[in-house]
Structure 1
Amino acid sequence: MTDTAWTYLMDMDGVLVHEEHMVPGADAFISALREAGNPFMVFTNNSIYTPRDLRARLLRSGLDIPESAIWTSALATAQFLDNQRPGGSAHVVGESGLTTALHNIGYVLTDREPDYVVLGETRTYSFESITKLIRLVEGGARFIATNPDEKGPSPEGSLPATGAVAALIERVTGRAPYYVGKPNPLMMRSALRTLGAHSENTLMIGDRMDTDVRSGLEAGLQTILVLTGISGEHTAERYPYRPTKVIRSIADLVDHVKDPFGA
C-alpha cells in the first residue's frame, strides 16, 4: 500500500489532545502529514465550539490546525439540514458552534413552528429549554440531535451530554432523534465530500470503538485505534468488530504516514 495517497480523518479528544494538553507526538504527526502532502481532517462530536474556537484551543496546546481542517458535529448537522430542507427553520438548544453553523447555511432560528428542533451540547441545559423542546416535538417539529454522547468530561467528573438529554426528550415524546454525529457514518461521508476524497484511500483514527471505529467501518474506511483515550486494548476485544490496526499512540505513525499499515 506504499503508493496509496492516504487521507487522514482523526478524532480530536483522546487522539491529539486531552482536555487542554497535547498528546505527546501529535505535533510531529501533523507536521509529518503536511510534509508528505496527505490531506487530513480533525473531528469532534462536541458541537459547542466553532472551528475558530477549536483552532485557538489547539494552538494553546501546541497544535497548528487550520479552521478548514476541523469538522464538528455542528457543521455536519448544518450540512445535513441544508441538504434535507434548504432555507428552513429550527429551534436550537446549544451553543455558538451550532447556532453559527445553522446561521451560515441561511437557517432561521425560531421557536414559532420550526421545521426542526436541534439539540446540541451545552453546559447550561435548563428545565425550561428542555420543556420547550419537548412541546415543539409534540407539535410536529422534526427532532435532530448533533451526537449521541451520553456524558462528557469535566475536572469535577462526568457531565450529562446531548445523548442523555435526547433520551429524556424521547422518553417524554415517544419520538427518537436523528443523530448526525458519530457513530453515524454520515459525518465521515460529509467530510470526505468536503475534502474531495474517496473512502478506499481514507483512514479514520480514533480512541473509541463505539463511535470512531464504528463510524469509520460503516463509511467503508480503514480504521486505527489509539490507546491514549477511552478504549483500551482489552476493551476493543469485547466488540464484534475490530479496527484495521491498534497502536499505542498517534506518535507511532509519525514515521509511517505514507504507509500506516506497513508500519
Structure 2
Amino acid sequence: MTDTQVVTAAEPILSYLTDMDGVLVHEDHLVPGADKFLAELRANETPFLVLTNNSIRTPRDLQARLRHTGLDIPESAIWTSALATATFLDEQRPGGTAYVVGESGLTTALHEIGYVLTDSDPDYVVLGETRTYSFEAITTAIRLVERGARFIATNPDPTGPSRDGSLPATGSVAALITRATGREPYYVGKPNPLMMRSALRRIGAHSQSTVMIGDRMDTDVVAGLEAGLRTILVTSGISSRESVEQFPYRPTMVVDSVADLVGSTPNPFT
C-alpha cells in the first residue's frame, strides 16, 4: 500500500539511492521483493547505489554479505559512510594523516586515497564503527583531539544491532570523546546531505531526477530531502506510518516495502 503526496516536480526519475538495512535486508535476511526490485532497475538500465552508514565492512565484504542473502550487487554499487568520509577528507586535505578508530572498511578507504594512518600528530582523528571499541584507542583519540587534531566521525548513529540487543555505535563513542575534549566531530554520514551528494557524484546523477529510499525518517528521509531528492519511506525497517506524523517534514511517498515499487519503476510517482 502506498501513501503519496502531490508531486509538483515533473522531472523524470533517472536514478535511485537506497539504504541497505531495513530496506533490502533485515538482520541478514532478504526483505521480500528486494531482489525483484533491483532486477527491475537493472532491466530498465536505471543507475542505483546502495548506501549504508555502517563503516565496518568494505564494499567487497558487503557484496559477499548481500550475496549470502540472495542479492547480487556489484562492489561499485555500494557506498558506505567510510567511502564518503574518505572522499570528503581527500577533497579537504589531500594526502593527509589520520588516527583511526575503526575497522577495515574505514582504514581501507583512507589508504586508498593515499592517507597515512598514524598516532603521531595526525591531521585528523577519524572515528568509525567497530565491534570492539578499545579504551586505549579512545584515550589516544581524546589526547590527540586535545592537542589539535580535527575530529571527524563517519556517522552519528548512537547504537547498532546485534543478536543480543543494541551495541554502542559511532555516535555514542563520539559523545564520549566530545564530553572529554569539548570538541564536536563533523559527521559525514547520514543524515548529512553531504553523503547523498557524494553518492550522486559517484553515479553521475542529479538530485532532481533521483529518488532516495530509506526506512528511517531521521536519517534517510531528511538527508534525501535536504539534498533535493524525492524520498520514499519503507516501513519494513525502523520508522512506521504513524511515526511520520511526529516529524515536521514528510517523505514524497510511504510504502510497506520495496516490493510495492516493483512494476512501477523507473517513476513510481506517476
- Shorter-chain TM-score category? over 0.9
Give, as a single letter, the amino acid of the residue that structure 2 aligns with 1:137. Answer: V
**Offset from partner CA, 1:10-57 (integer Å, 9 cap, x none):** 000000001210000000000000001110000000000000000000
Query: How far apart, in 1, do the equivalents of 2:139 and 2:167 lie?
Result: 20
Q: Deviations over 1:173-230 (max 9, x none)?
A: 0000000000000000001111111000001000000000000000000000000000
Aligned partner (choices 167, 170, 176) of residue 162 of structure 1: 170
Distance 2:135 2:262 in 1: 47
Cα distance in 2 between the residues matched to 1:174 and 1:2: 47
- Which residue of the partner structure matches residue 198 of structure 2? 190
Q: Which residues in structure 2 correspond to 1:241-260 (within 5 Å)?
A: 241-260=249-268
CA contact (8 A) 2:157 2:169 kept: yes
Q: Percent identity?
A: 73
Q: How many residues align?
A: 262
Q: Secondary structure at the match of 1:256?
A: coil
Counterpart of 1:221 in structure 2 is: 229
Among 127, 139, 149, the alignment partner of 1:141 is: 149
Cα distance in 2 for partners of 1:201, 1:31 equals: 20
Query: 2:3 aligns to what?
Result: none
Structure 1 runs (4+) greater than 3 angstroms displaced = none
Specify every segment of 5 or more residues in structure 1 that has no aligned partner in the other structure, as ranges: none
Q: Which residue of 2 aligns with 1:31?
A: 39
Aligned-residue CA RMSD (Å): 1.0
TM-score norm. by structure 2 comes to 0.96
Provide, for residues 104-143 of structure 1, a one-character-per-residue CA deviation record: whole Å limited to 9, x for no partner.
0000000000000000000110211111100000000000
2:11–2:209 CA contact under 8 A, matched in 1 = no
Hey, what's the Cα distance between the residues in 1 that align with 2:267 and 2:82? 32
Q: Secondary structure at the match of 1:114?
A: coil
TM-superposed CA distance for 1:2, in Å, is: 8.7
Equivalent residue, structure 1, for 2:4:
none
Tell me, what secondary structure is at the counterpart of 1:14? Answer: coil
1:9 aligns with 2:8: no
Q: For 2:27 and 2:96, how far apart are their aligned partners in 1?
A: 35
Alignment partners' CA distance in 1, 2:24 and 2:257: 9
1:166–1:177 contact (8 Å) kept in structure 2: yes
Cα distance change on mapping 1:53 and 1:172 into 2, 3 Å: same
- 2:135 equivalent to 1:124: no
Q: Which amino acid aligns with 2:262?
A: V
Q: How far does residue 6 in structure 1 lie from its aligned partner after superposition?
A: 2.2
Hey, what's the Cα distance between the residues in 1 that align with 2:20 and 2:162?
Answer: 16
- Given that 1:58 and 1:64 are in contact with CA atoms closer than 8 Å, whether structure 2 keeps it comes out as yes
CA contact (8 A) 2:17 2:49 kept: yes
Q: Does the 8 A contact of 1:2 with 1:258 survive in 2?
A: no
1:114 aligned to 122, 127, 131, which one?
122
In 2, Cα distance between equivalents of 1:176 and 1:3 = 38
Counterpart check, 1:57 vs 2:74: no
| Structure 2 contact 13–211 (Cα < 8 Å) conserved | no
Q: Quick one: distance in 1 between partners of 2:101 and 2:222?
A: 27
TM-score, normalization by structure 1: 0.98
Distance 1:64 1:252 in 2: 20
